[in-house]
Amino acid sequence: MSVGAASEIDSLLEVSARIGAEPLLVQAATGNTSVKLDGVLWIKASGKWLADATRDDILIPVNLAETRRRIEHKADPAGQAAIVGGKTMGTSVETAMHAVLPHRVVLHVHSVNTIAWAVRRDGPSELAARLEGIDWAWIPYVSSGLPLAAAIQCAMARNPSTEVLVLANHGLVVCGEDCEAAENLLRVVERRVAIAPRLAPAPDWPLLARLSEGGRWQIPQRLPQNAAVHAMGTDPVTHGIVSHGVLYPCQAIFLTPRATTLPHAATPADLAGVAEPFVMVERAGVLVREKANPAESATLAGLAQVLQRIPADAPLEYLRDDQIGDLLCADVYHYRDMVEGNSMVHATSVTFQPVTKNQ
């Protein structure tokens, strides 16, 4: 590898670690980054956390020409195996997307601000003014892998200058000729699409403490100390939005396609039959499962931040049952295992700025 290529890879790792440490951009193992160098696509391996980029081997090299040939023949290049640092790793489910984009550097994040627009039916029109002057495209929701890559190829054919992609019900993709340009553009887009989160009533701590006594909801320090998370129980708007369905894939993969709500008069016995990682309590807040792992905690916190940025009157596009079914295939459980296996170095709680108002 040339000195220049090694320097570019180091730059990508540094950018990856920076954005991976920002929970408003990346939650758990979501998001992926890549750089194309000398015919090789260096891309984040499946299940790896971007936050670990400078302390773990997270990139996997694949032959770019061969990867593009696979795509042309309708063969998904995801899951290609390579040994890196003595470990066998597989390519990301988003490998096809990164490969078809012509740009050298691609940054894909799950920006909560972008997702709050991307789940809206009026997202394209609302973003038009905010992203004026930027070559961007709206990509209607399709499954990751070959379908998403095909949709992006169509968008690039319409406007080869496109460097920002808003993926409906999914996230944000920003491209550049080098890491600095791509990260700078990401910061510009984030400022343009930023939404002030809605204030929410404070949690009913005494009730949550009583409900969590005993059983698998029993450890008080494991309650999410994030007011935005508790807004899913205390804020009627937030609660109503999340109760109506799944807004984006990670919500179904790492949490549940059906959110459980307990009445304000609930007792600890009412928690006995709850199998989900979290439960909402009306006008009180949220309880999390005792054994909730870092990936679930980060996903829950990210979901709460998205919800707090969606107005009550926003026209929303939820994922259909068949789309959710496609997500929850056998492969997703293997992916979850990898994510959770790579998450042991991460704290189980995720902290954001409090978003609350007194009751």
Tell me the CATH number at 68: 3.40.225.10
Query: pLDDT digit string (tens) for 98-120?
Result: 999 999 999 999 999 999 999 99
Checking if the pLDDT of 356 tops 50, the result is no
How many C-beta atoms lie closer than 10 Å to residue 258's C-beta?
12
Which pLDDT score is estimated for 340? 56
Domain match, 36 and 175 both:
yes
Q: Alpha-carbon distance 182 to 176, whole Å?
A: 4
Q: How much is the pTM? A: 0.92
Q: Alpha-carbon distance 232 to 234, whole Å?
A: 6
In the chain, the number of structural domains is 2
Query: Is 351 among the domain residues?
Result: no
Domain end position, chosen among 158, 193, 228: 193
Query: Is 357 among the domain residues?
Result: no
Residue owning tokens 């109503």: 240
Domain match, 56 and 149 both:
yes
Main-chain phi, psi angles of 183, to 5 degrees = -70, -40
Dig out the tokens for 153 from the structure. 């190829």
Domain match, 182 and 212 both:
no
Domain match, 269 and 153 both:
no
Query: pLDDT digit string (tens) for 271-309?
Result: 988 888 899 999 999 999 877 788 888 999 999 999 999
Residue 229 domain boundaries: 205-341
Domain match, 179 and 247 both:
no
Query: Is 221 among the domain residues?
Result: yes
Query: Is 200 among the domain residues?
Result: no
Domain match, 9 and 69 both:
yes
Q: Alpha-carbon distance 243 to 280, whole Å?
A: 10
The predicted model gives 44-69 an average pLDDT of 95
Domain match, 269 and 333 both:
yes
Cβ–Cβ under 8 Å, residues 144 and 221: no
Domain end position, chosen among 172, 193, 214: 193
Query: Is 285 among the domain residues?
Result: yes
Domain match, 142 and 252 both:
no
CB-based contacts of 170: which residues, under 8 Å, 6+ apart?
110, 115, 118, 139, 141, 144, 248, 249
Query: pLDDT digit string (tens) for 59-99?
Result: 999 999 999 999 999 999 998 877 787 888 888 999 999 99
Q: What is the average pLDDT score of the chain?
A: 89
Confidence of residue 154 (pLDDT cuts 50, 70, 90): very high
Query: Is 136 among the domain residues?
Result: yes
The predicted model gives 321-333 an average pLDDT of 80
Q: Alpha-carbon distance 157 to 35, whole Å?
A: 21
Domain match, 183 and 292 both:
no
Domain match, 162 and 218 both:
no
Query: Is 26 among the domain residues?
Result: yes
Query: Is 167 among the domain residues?
Result: yes
The predicted model gives 152-161 an average pLDDT of 98
Main-chain phi, psi angles of 232, to 5 degrees = -65, -20
The predicted model gives 31-48 an average pLDDT of 96
Domain end position, chosen among 140, 170, 193: 193
Domain match, 55 and 105 both:
yes
Domain match, 328 and 278 both:
yes
